[in-house]
A and B are shown apart, each in its own frame.
Chain A
Amino acid sequence: MRLVLAILAEQLGEWRHGYDLMKATGLLSGTLYPLLMRMTDNGLVEAEWREPAQQGRPPRHVYRLTAAGFALAIELTRESAPLSGKEMLA
């Protein structure tokens, strides 16, 4: 979760697609989506539907941090020294 928070906090206010987040975090869809669902349920991330850039494609979900999510991201960044891979997924 920390990794997703950190990536989303990098470009605060910008909406990111799920597949972009996968590439940015290096997480697989089986890990990323449950995290995003949980974070959205807890009010850390907000999700929205966007019309596709290419015609004929379905609308896509985009995500960004909420104020609470950003606050948590800052708090975790302050708390943590460089994190190990395992900690980042915790």
Chain B
Amino acid sequence: MTIFLARLLMTLASTCMGDDRRDWSLAMQAEYEVAAADGQALSFASGCLVAAWRELLASPQGRFTLTNYVAALGIMLPMAALQIGCAVFGLPYLYPGEHGLPGAMLVGGSHEALLRSIYLGAVPTLALIQLITGIGHVRLAWLLVERDWPGAIRWALWTLAGATALVIFMSVLFLDAQQALLQAAIVGLEVAAIAIGITRHAEIAAVRNPTG
């Protein structure tokens, strides 16, 4: 169990170390074998993980990678969960009347009686757009962590298009689109953040390889 945990920590340390410290990662792996033979596997591996984290925070490349993970795990995946949950389960707190997406369509109003059947017919389409937007967010988070910038910007724009379409459809149907508008605004900010990320990544790459 100790060896398994130690190996897990070493793998994590190698993953955190980054490409520019690949040699050091291999060096620590080699010394781990000696430490393990000496009965110090866990303490050595824990230290290596601490060293990897220190390096991650010390280098611009490491900080940039960390920021990507924080954005993916802290913003995009929760957003995706919210959107997918909203589409599939109709999470009540996102929409007026606390009755989920269908509830948003049946909020009292003079137009409601006339358009009720259209509202109900529109629910699956709007839920589908919401679902696609959520799935787009999951893919976006993955591409961000992978640092696939062309893919990330492409998916971010698709996600923004989905969120915008949701706002437009809801507005056309006289629905309360406040929450959808807020989601679209967040996706818009994400597109801007990715564009800034691409520039920043290019700057870091230029510093690391000045000859191009």
Q: Does B44 have its Cβ within 8 Å of any Cβ on chain A? A: yes
Q: Does A67 have its Cβ within 8 Å of any Cβ on chain B? A: no
Q: Known contacts A57-B30, A58-B26, A61-B27; is A34 also within 8 Å of B43 by CB?
A: no
Q: Does A24 have its Cβ within 8 Å of any Cβ on chain B? A: no
Determine chain B's interface SS by DSSP, over half rule.
Answer: helix
Q: Known contacts A18-B27, A60-B30; is A37 also within 8 Å of B55 by CB?
A: yes
Q: Is the CB of A18 within 8 A of B33?
A: no
B interface bracket (residues with beta carbon within 8 Å of A): 20 to 34
Q: Is the CB of A33 within 8 A of B44?
A: no
Q: Does B28 have its Cβ within 8 Å of any Cβ on chain A? A: yes
Q: Does B54 have its Cβ within 8 Å of any Cβ on chain A? A: yes
Contact with A along B23-59 (1 / 0, CB 8 A): 1101111110111001000011011111100110010
Instruction: State how many angstroms separate the Cβ of B211 from the closest Cβ of chain A.
Output: 19
Contact with A along B1-39 (1 / 0, CB 8 A): 000000000000000000001011011111101110010
List 4 tightest A-B contacts by C-beta distance, closest first: A29-B47, A30-B50, A61-B27, A30-B47
List B residues at the A interface (Cβ < 8 Å). Answer: 21, 23-24, 26-31, 33-35, 38, 43-44, 46-51, 54-55, 58
